[in-house]
């Protein structure tokens, strides 16, 4: 339960709504608790008029002071007048109580919605701050479940559960107070089942807590399974694995259902137990009260019995809601524990204390850089040193797994180097604030991602507020404008989730346009033309060359035929720089680069116009 203490800041933020809600709960139950006293008075009046016609009936002293004073004014009135007036008072109390109940929900439930809004924004904001390493070790489905299902369960605690708990406290407080004033013995008899109820709730809640945590973990797993299936539907269909995925999902769903049913059975213990104990309390109260009336015990009356029965009935729903409230609280605690686990995770990559905003002109240097991926322990970069002057165009080539893409990740500071240093304009990379540094870079990743939006908005994502002409120009530079023009809706074409309606080459070129519209001093392309043919790549590179004239460009690629105009080509092998130089210099060395070039030439002999 200590996990829920992290919600106190929200209760304090909305303390006006919270305390107003408490006030309305108290007022609601105060005016409701007066009804049994009026009812008891009416019954006693009827009985008294039958037993002693014409005699006045003075209200009992244990009534609420307001009820006692009001009824005393009409005690000497005719029987019909007293009954009519008592009925009007009951109606008025119901209206007033209903009004305060409405205000109670409008404060506490509205407060819970505000808290839900704030918590979702806080969780999403924290998602944005966490670095790549975190996302390598957490599934998308689990993260989605925490921001949706877990936050919703917490809302059920901050709203309905809190409201019913306060309501329970108010009802029990008022009821016991007036019951004790009326008859101590009957009060003890009526409330004796409550300790048994409390013990039952304690033990059942412990079971619910464990089951709730297990169910949330299974739900996260189920969500991850569904999300991966939707994202990889093309792969599933191409390998004809629909039935296998269906079986896998059914197994996970069955595990979730089994645990959910087990929890439902446990929760089902509450309500029969409540009904039994409440019914027993009512029966015993009537029996003891009736014996007192028969034995003519002082203060005993039929009206008092009716009054106590109404008190017990008023306690029925709040006490019955203990089970539901406790269940919601336990579920919220389990969900908040999951949220706290993630909220307490701090990003590994953070701004240095001396970081300050400054312009990056384009000079880059690597000095003895080594890097090992923290989640796998694989050393991807080994003793890497390289100087890149501002405005230079550098190509990084190498076989798969040679460490090329890792260089791009380090330049973006998605990871910190294990040893060595990376400098921008002779300043260590840590001296640049992360947001400001990345804002001055354009990066086109190997794994292209497009949002489920229009082509225009996907390109404009690179720079919010870019004009339509700037969007079109970026598309032309990426050699995608003509193809977009053939679409029925042009730039307003919806690309579908992750760009599912586009080809791989089209997605890559839209991703390039998104980077170009940013117009930074440093541009990094990470094998982002792998899905286009050789001729298209050559066209794109030629279009880009004029655009990149005054910019520092690092192009990571596995193709060599379009690399002739670069200032330097770096060949990587096993995380190290194996060769470097111009195209002709590397061919003359007759090393890795020359072998890659010859192999590529042989594979393209059937495409004479590709070079």
* Pairing verdict, β 552-556 and 393-398: parallel
What pLDDT score was predicted for residue 61? 54
Alpha-carbon gap, residue 202 to 540, rounded angstroms:
69
Alpha-carbon gap, residue 315 to 481, rounded angstroms:
71
* pLDDT tens digits for range 336-352: 998 998 888 888 888 87
Determine contact, residues 146/339, Cβ cutoff 8 Å: yes
Mean pLDDT on 83-92: 85
Alpha-carbon gap, residue 367 to 490, rounded angstroms:
47
Alpha-carbon gap, residue 121 to 255, rounded angstroms:
31
Mean pLDDT on 157-161: 92
Facing residues of 523 across strands?
442, 553
What pLDDT score was predicted for residue 71? 64
Nearest Cα residue to 6 out of 324, 327, 345, 339: 339
Task: Give the three-state DSSP class for 340.
Answer: helix
User: Per-residue DSSP letters for 259-286?
Assistant: HHHHHHHHHTTHHHHHHHHHHHHHHHHH
What pLDDT score was predicted for residue 66? 64
Alpha-carbon gap, residue 248 to 234, rounded angstroms:
17
* pLDDT tens digits for range 539-561: 777 777 777 888 899 988 877 75
Determine contact, residues 10/285, Cβ cutoff 8 Å: no
pLDDT band with cut points at 50, 70 and 90 for residue 148: confident
Q: Which domains does the chain have, with CATH numbers?
A: 10-343 (1.20.1560.10), 364-603 (3.40.50.300)
pLDDT band with cut points at 50, 70 and 90 for residue 67: low
Phi, psi of 310 (to 5 degrees): -65, -40
* Angle, vertex CA 125, rays to CA 124 and CA 126, nearest 5: 90
Residue 60 has pLDDT above 60, yes or no: no
Alpha-carbon gap, residue 222 to 141, rounded angstroms:
8
Comparing 144 with 53, the larger pLDDT belongs to 144
* pLDDT tens digits for range 89-112: 889 989 999 999 999 999 999 999
Token pair listed for 163 = 């409201």
Comparing 533 with 350, the larger pLDDT belongs to 350
* pLDDT tens digits for range 457-494: 989 988 888 888 999 988 888 888 888 888 888 888 88
What pLDDT score was predicted for residue 74? 62
Question: Which element (helix H / strand E) includes 145?
Answer: helix 140-145
What pLDDT score was predicted for residue 611? 38
What pLDDT score was predicted for residue 77? 67
* Angle, vertex CA 289, rays to CA 283 and CA 290, nearest 5: 90
Nearest Cα residue to 74 out of 88, 64, 62: 88
Arithmetic mean of pLDDT over the chain:
83
Q: Where are the beta strands (DSSP E) in 157-264?
A: none
Percent of the chain with pLDDT strictly greater than 70: 90
Nearest Cα residue to 133 out of 422, 372, 429: 372
User: Per-residue DSSP letters for 384-418?
Assistant: EEEEE-TT-EEEEEESTTSSHHHHHHHHTTSS--S
The phi-psi region of residue 371 (left if phi > 0; otherwise alpha if psi is between -120 and 50; otherwise beta) is beta
Token pair listed for 469 = 């002409």
What pLDDT score was predicted for residue 578? 93
Per-residue HEC secondary structure of 221-233 comes to: HHHHHHHHHHHCH
Per-residue HEC secondary structure of 451-513 comes to: CCCEHHHHHHCCCCCCCHHHHHHHHHHCCCHHHHHHCCCHHHCECCHHHCCCCHHHHHHHHHH
């Amino acid at each position: 339960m200590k996990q829920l203490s992290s919600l106190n800041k929200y209760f304090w933020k909305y303390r006006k709504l919270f305390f107003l809600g408490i006030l309305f709960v108290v007022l609601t139950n105060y005016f409701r608790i007066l009804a049994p006293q009026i009812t008891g008075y009416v019954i006693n009046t009827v009985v008294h008029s039958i037993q002693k016609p014409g005699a006045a009936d003075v209200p009992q002293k244990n009534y609420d002071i307001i009820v006692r004073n009001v009824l005393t004014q009409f005690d000497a009135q005719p029987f019909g007048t007293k009954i009519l007036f008592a009925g009007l008072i009951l109606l008025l109390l119901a209206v007033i109580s209903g009004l305060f109940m409405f205000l109670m929900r409008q404060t506490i439930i509205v407060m819970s919605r505000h808290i839900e809004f704030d918590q979702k924004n806080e969780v999403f904001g924290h998602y944005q701050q966490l670095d790549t390493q975190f996302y390598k070790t957490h599934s998308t489905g689990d993260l989605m479940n925490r921001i949706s299902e877990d936050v919703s369960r917490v809302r059920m605690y901050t709203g309905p559960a809190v409201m019913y708990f306060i309501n329970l406290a108010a009802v029990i407080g008022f009821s016991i107070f007036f019951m004790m004033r009326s008859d101590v013995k009957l009060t003890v008899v009526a409330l004796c089942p409550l300790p048994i109820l409390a013990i039952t709730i304690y033990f059942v809640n412990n079971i619910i807590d464990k089951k709730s945590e297990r169910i949330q973990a299974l739900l996260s797993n189920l969500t991850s399974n569904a999300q991966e299936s939707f994202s990889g539907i093309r792969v599933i269909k191409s390998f004809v694995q629909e039935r296998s995925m269906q079986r896998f999902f059914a197994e996970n769903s069955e595990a979730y259902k089994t645990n959910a049913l087990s929890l439902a059975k446990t929760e089902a213990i509450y309500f029969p137990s409540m009904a039994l104990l409440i019914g027993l309390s009512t029966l015993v109260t009537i029996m003891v009260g009736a014996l007192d009336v028969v034995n003519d015990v002082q203060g005993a009356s039929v009206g008092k019995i009716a009054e106590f029965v109404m008190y017990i009935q008023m306690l029925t729903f709040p006490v019955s809601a203990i089970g539901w409230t406790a269940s919601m609280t336990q579920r919220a605690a389990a969900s908040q524990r999951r949220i706290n686990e993630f909220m307490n995770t701090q990003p590994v990559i953070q701004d240095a204390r001396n970081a300050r905003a400054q312009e990056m002109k384009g000079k880059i240097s690597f000095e003895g850089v080594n890097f090992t991926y923290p989640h796998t322990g694989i050393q991807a970069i080994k003793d890497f040193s390289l100087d890149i002057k501002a405005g230079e165009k550098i190509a990084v080539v190498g076989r798969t797994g040679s460490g090329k893409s890792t260089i791009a990740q380090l330049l973006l500071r998605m990871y910190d180097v294990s040893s060595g240093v990376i400098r921008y304009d002779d300043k260590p990379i840590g001296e640049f604030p992360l947001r400001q540094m990345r804002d001055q870079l354009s990066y086109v990743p190997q794994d292209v991602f497009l949002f489920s939006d229009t082509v225009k908005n996907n390109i404009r994502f690179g720079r919010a507020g870019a004009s339509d002409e700037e969007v079109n120009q970026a598309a032309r530079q990426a050699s995608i404008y003509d193809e977009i023009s053939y679409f029925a809706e042009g730039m307003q074409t919806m690309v579908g989730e992750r760009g599912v309606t586009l080809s791989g080459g089209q997605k890559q070129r839209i991703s390039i346009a998104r980077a170009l519209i940013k117009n930074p001093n440093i541009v990094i392309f990470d094998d982002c033309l792998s899905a286009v043919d050789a001729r298209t790549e050559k066209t794109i590179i030629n279009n880009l060359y004029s655009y990149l004239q005054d910019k520092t460009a690092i192009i990571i690629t596995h193709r060599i035929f379009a690399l002739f105009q670069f200032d330097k080509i770096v060949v990587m092998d096993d995380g190290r720089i194996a060769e470097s130089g111009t195209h002709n210099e590397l061919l003359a060395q007759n090393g890795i680069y020359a072998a890659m070039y010859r192999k590529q030439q042989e594979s393209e002999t059937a495409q004479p116009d590709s070079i």
